[in-house]
A and B are shown apart, each in its own frame.
Chain A
Amino acid sequence: MAKLILTPENQIQRLNTIFNSVEQLRDLPLVQLKKRGNPKTWSVLEVILHLNIAYGHYQTKFEEILPNLSSIDVEQKKFKCRAWQKFVIEGQRPKNNVRKWKMKTLKRFEPIIDSEHVDDKKANEIIDSFFALYGHLKETIVTSRGKDVTKIKFASAIGPIVNFYLPESFEFLICHLERHMVQISEILKQVEK
């Protein structure tokens, strides 16, 4: 199995690309953001709210872990993702802008929005929260460049069945974002029809 080498620079670049795409969503009419492609799928705003909910666990963990990592004066070495973690990450990563398979979302990560009462202000609040939360992720990645990330691992949001070192958790979160960015493109295509 090919190695998965993780670097913070690669993760920062991909995260910035996602930020640019989400920023462009602000220009879309509200109706496009809150309309579902079909009754069984989410709207764009529901996807973003789901992403916001999904980050909550990691925000808490990062704030706990980061101060406890020792600083390094040299450039961080390449981080090789472990096999089981790679399998979990690759399950999230879209290939050629396609989600390989659909996943059932755990109840606690499901977004609940009363679409009828969502106005521009509420929509902007959801998008603002996205930038605040994933801005935190970016700050964490940037800070981790000067830390020894090979010492502490922690349980993922799924539970202790998957534990992550920081670079693995960053990769998981970014692949999760990329997966949902593909979903947002699919929703927008359906809504525009």
Chain B
Amino acid sequence: MRDEDFLLLKNLFFNLRISDKEEEHFKSLWCTKSFKQYDLITEAGSIERNFYLVLEGVQAIYVLNEKGEKVVLGFSYTGSPSGVFDSFVSGEPSKIFLEALKPSRLLAISKSDYLDLFKNDPSFYQWGHHFFQEVLFGRLSREVELLTLTAEQRYISFMQRCPDELKVIPQKYLASYLNMKPETFSRLRASTVY
């Protein structure tokens, strides 16, 4: 594992207090996976086998509506965790796709290795508590935005917080995430200052 990749990993698992030997073992549990643009990393109907950390690239998680259109639930990008967490935790087939929107490099840990981390070191429970709390807060905040803000407010709020690498993905994914038509997104992009 490259040093810069391990730095991202340590940043995600910020609270770990492990010895050098344990660190080597921790590192050995992760493998790097590369995906081309538009590769499906996880397919709906299959079980998510890995927990990922994004080293490079942008990915979208989405479901298909009745018309077969992609409805974007969220994105992952450099430094963020990725994967279809509900399927990973439950072991049930996912209803969600995870797709690389840009060429992507991800660090992956398998379910059994992930569970062993918790079994062998209680500090992972603290991390897990914090991690899933952040996921929950993030989802609640998004739900409130979707239900209470106007399209323009949603656009401004998102553009103010989203990293630059997310701003260059195809507009239709951003529009879908913000629950607006691509035409509306395009109009807001041309006319709104944030």
Contacts and interface: CB of A to CB of B under 8 A. Distances in A.
Task: Decide if A and B are genuine partners.
Answer: yes
Interface of A: 5-7, 9-10, 12-17, 19-20, 75, 78, 142, 145-146
A61 to B, nearest CB: 24
Contact of A13 (B38, B44, B67, B170): B44
**Dominant secondary structure of chain A at its interface with chain B:** helix
A142 B40 CA distance: 8
28 contacts: A5-B68, A6-B68, A7-B68, A9-B44, A9-B64, A9-B68, A9-B97, A10-B64, A10-B68, A12-B40, A12-B43, A12-B44, A12-B45, A13-B44, A13-B45, A13-B97, A14-B45, A15-B45, A16-B44, A16-B45, A16-B46, A17-B93, A20-B45, A75-B38, A75-B170, A145-B38, A145-B40, A146-B38
B142 interface: no
Measured as residues with beta carbon below 8 angstroms from the partner, the interface class of chain B is 10 to 19
B152 to A, nearest CB: 27
Contacts of B43: 12-13, 16
Tell me which of B44, B68, B70, B170 has the highest count of chain A C-beta atoms within 10 A of its own C-beta: B68
Nearest to B47: A20
A15 B70 CA distance: 17
Given A10-B68, A12-B44, 13 more contacts: A5-B67, A5-B68, A7-B68, A9-B97, A10-B64, A12-B40, A16-B43, A16-B45, A16-B46, A16-B93, A17-B45, A20-B93, A75-B38
A24 to B, nearest CB: 11
Tell me which of B38, B70, B170 has the highest count of chain A C-beta atoms within 10 A of its own C-beta: B38
**Dominant secondary structure of chain B at its interface with chain A:** loop
B45 A19 contact: yes
Contacts of B67: 5
A12 B45 CA distance: 8
Interface of B: 38, 40, 43-46, 64, 67-68, 70, 93, 95, 97, 170
A146 B35 CA distance: 13
A19 to B, nearest CB: 7
Contacts of A14: 45
Contacts of B44: 9, 12-13, 16
Nearest to A73: B37
B46 to A, nearest CB: 5
